[in-house]
Amino acid sequence: MLNTIKKMTSKDITVGIGAYTDVKKIMELKDKFDICPLKVLKDEETALMALKRGDIDCLVRGTLRSSFFLKALFKHYDVQKTYRIALMGTANKKYFLLAPVGIDEGESLNEKISLVNYGKDFLSTFNIEPKISILSGGRRDDLGRSRYVDMTIIEARTIAEELGIMHHEIMIEDAIKESNFIIAPDGISGNLIYRTLVHMGRGTSHGALYYPLAKNGTVIVDTSRAAGIKEYETAIILANAFKVMKC
């Protein structure tokens, strides 16, 4: 998937990248990056205004502060809530999408249904056939052990049946074999999957698109402030290629 995305980039797309901290690291990246022009933006308000004015074509959060960034985002764009869909890689370079990854995302049945539709948009934009799996907090025969686990199982089964996607119950190890988009039971478990894979399991992260903005061509890619240069590079590539395909 990552190689497919790389082939779709354009030198005509200017990507903004935030640099509130670690400015030297971001400037070094700018100096050596040759896929497209980069513009370094040093605060949240400046970055989002540059995107809104059209000074840049798309934006990577880089080292901008998350809470300040979200406040500025809600100020300048007509959205009440955002959902991030992350592009991930396993240690053996199996690439897939993961959501929800924000602890307050994917909290309800309707939010999970929205995530399915956003994930389809993400993959279809790159001409990749969506193969989506939703997880639950247990197996079907675990019903009755926990009220919360029961809810996740019932929700996942309902969504899988209504939307024609797979339900791999709690077996993420099976979901990764058949899917290119995995939906966790909630934002907390999704965030833990992300952290475990990247920080303990030699996996990789390549940025997360903000929906519903991305669906309409406003391309903002989230990254960790603690990310290495490689994650920033691939997040820039993701932002660039997605904007090309949405134009």
Residue 231 has pLDDT above 90, yes or no: yes
The answer, yes or no, to whether residue 226 has pLDDT greater than 90, is no
d(CA 176, CA 131): 10
- Lowest mean pLDDT, pick from 28-32, 153-157, 227-231: 227-231
Name which CATH class applies to 1-77+218-247: alpha beta
Return the pLDDT at 18: 97
What is the pLDDT, as a whole number, of residue 52? Answer: 96
Domain ranges of the chain: 1-77+218-247, 86-203
9 phi and psi angles, rounded to 5 deg: -75, 160
pLDDT digits (tens, 9 = 90+) for 133-159: 999 999 999 999 999 999 999 999 999
Q: How many helices (H) and strands (E) does the chain have?
A: 9, 10
Across 83-109, average pLDDT: 96
State the CATH architecture for 86-203.
3-Layer(aba) Sandwich (3.40)
Q: Is the pLDDT of residue 83 over 90?
A: yes
pLDDT band at 170 (very low <50, low <70, confident <90, very high): very high
d(CA 62, CA 226): 9
Same fold, 1-77+218-247 and 86-203: no
207: left (phi over 0), alpha (psi -120 to 50) or beta: left
Indicate the pLDDT class of residue 82, thresholds 50, 70 and 90: very high
Would you say residue 109 has pLDDT above 90? yes
pTM of the shown model: 0.95
Query: What per-residue confidence (pLDDT) applies to 213?
Result: 97
pLDDT in tens, 1-21: 999 999 999 999 999 999 999
Instruction: Evaluate if residue 94 carries a pLDDT over 90.
Output: yes
Supply the pLDDT for residue 99.
98
Q: Write the DSSP assignment of 106-129 as a string of letters.
A: S-SHHHHHHHHHHHHHHHHHTT--
Residue 224 has pLDDT above 90, yes or no: no
75-90 average pLDDT score:
94
If you average pLDDT over residues 74-91, what whole number do you get?
94
pLDDT band at 171 (very low <50, low <70, confident <90, very high): very high
Given this model, what pLDDT does residue 77 score? 92
Please, what is the average pLDDT of the chain? Answer: 96
